[in-house]
């Protein structure tokens, strides 16, 4: 397939063409390999997303393409579930306000799950987890939270599903919420 016929976002294409820094060279090689094998854009996406290489999965190009294609790419949930399953803690909460309730006896907030009512899948990634970069690229930053707090089992209830302490960046995207531990 010729690169000019690849129908993906121009920023994503620029990320894939990049060869400077981190795992950019290996990601670019994978991009070119998939481009050479693909017959059309759908074929390219299926090939590109088929990798299990952590350097590619955690690249900005991979995350940006997945975000841009999430509404039409049928393998979207499988990829997000794969990355979320790399977290140290995984759980599901109920949702009537389209989010994840976080707080303690003194405050609470409802972090949007980026999807809607029903259930919210959440995951906690501890410092040093190599999939943290994937979260940063695949999801949207919501808030940073620091201190001792709870995650509630229902976004309009008070039953505690999990207690956490520390500093966390909270991301969400299309029904998933990820809490990524960071240094205080």
Structure-token match 């995951």, residue found: 123
How far is it, in rounded angstroms, from Cα 48 to Cα 50?
6
Parallel/antiparallel/unpaired status of strands 176-182 and 99-103: unpaired
Measuring CA to CA, which residue among 24, 7, 123, 5 is closest to residue 69? 7
Q: CA-based diameter of the chain, in Å?
A: 58
The model's pTM: 0.78
Backbone angles phi, psi at 76, to 5 degrees: -50, -55
Backbone angles phi, psi at 99, to 5 degrees: -165, -170
Q: What is the pLDDT of residues 54-83, one digit of tens each?
A: 999 999 899 889 888 766 667 777 888 899
Q: What is the pLDDT of residues 74-114, one digit of tens each?
A: 777 788 889 999 999 999 999 999 999 999 999 999 999 98
């Amino acid at each position: 397939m010729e690169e000019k016929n690849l129908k993906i976002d121009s920023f994503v294409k620029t990320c894939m063409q990049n060869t400077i820094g981190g795992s950019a060279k290996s990601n670019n090689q994978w991009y070119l390999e998939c481009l050479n094998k693909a017959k059309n854009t759908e074929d390219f996406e299926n090939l590109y997303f088929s990798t299990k290489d952590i350097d590619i999965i955690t690249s900005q190009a991979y995350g940006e393409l997945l975000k841009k294609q999430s509404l039409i790419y049928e393998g979207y949930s499988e990829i997000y579930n794969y990355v979320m399953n790399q977290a140290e803690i995984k759980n599901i909460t109920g949702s009537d306000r389209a989010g994840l309730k976080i707080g303690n006896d003194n405050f609470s907030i409802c972090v949007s799950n980026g999807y809607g009512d029903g259930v919210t899948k959440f995951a906690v990634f501890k410092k040093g987890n190599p999939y943290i970069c994937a979260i940063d690229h695949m999801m949207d930053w919501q808030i940073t939270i620091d201190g001792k707090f709870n995650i509630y089992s229902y976004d309009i209830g008070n039953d505690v599903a999990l207690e956490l302490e520390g500093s966390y960046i909270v991301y969400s995207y299309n029904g998933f919420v990820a809490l990524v531990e960071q240094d205080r």
